[in-house]
C-alpha cells in the first residue's frame, strides 16, 4: 500500500531531525536529509504496524476483516 506523509525537517547542529504531524510519536534523525527521511519512514512504518496489531487484539471471532484502499 502506498501512503504519503508530511516530514517536518529541521537542522540541529550537524544533524537533521524530523517529525511527522500525521503520526504522533514518529521522529527521525540523520546526518543528511536522506538519512533523516529514511529514519522517519522507518519510525512511521513501525508505529503504524504496532497500531494495526493493537487494533486487532480482542476482536470477536465472527468479526469480518477486509482491506480498504485509499488513494
Give, as one character, the DSSP assignment of residue 13. T
Distance from C-alpha of 47 to C-alpha of 26, rounded to nearest angstrom: 7
Give the pairing type, strands 8-12 and 15-19: antiparallel
Residues 13-67 pLDDT 10s = 999 999 999 999 999 999 999 999 999 999 999 999 999 899 888 899 899 989 8
- Reduced to 3 states, what is the DSSP secondary structure of residue 25? coil
Contact 29, 36 (CB under 8 A): yes
pTM: 0.83
DSSP secondary structure letters along 38-54: HHHHHHHHHHHHHHHHH
Amino acid at each position: 500500500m502506498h501512503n504519503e506523509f508530511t516530514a517536518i525537517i529541521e537542522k540541529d547542529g550537524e544533524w537533521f531531525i524530523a517529525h511527522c504531524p500525521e503520526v504522533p510519536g514518529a521522529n527521525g534523525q540523520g546526518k543528511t536529509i536522506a538519512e533523516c527521511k529514511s529514519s522517519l519512514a522507518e519510525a512511521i512504518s513501525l508505529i503504524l504496524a504496532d497500531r494495526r496489531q493493537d487494533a486487532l487484539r480482542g476482536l470477536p471471532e465472527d468479526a469480518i476483516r477486509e482491506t480498504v484502499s485509499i488513494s
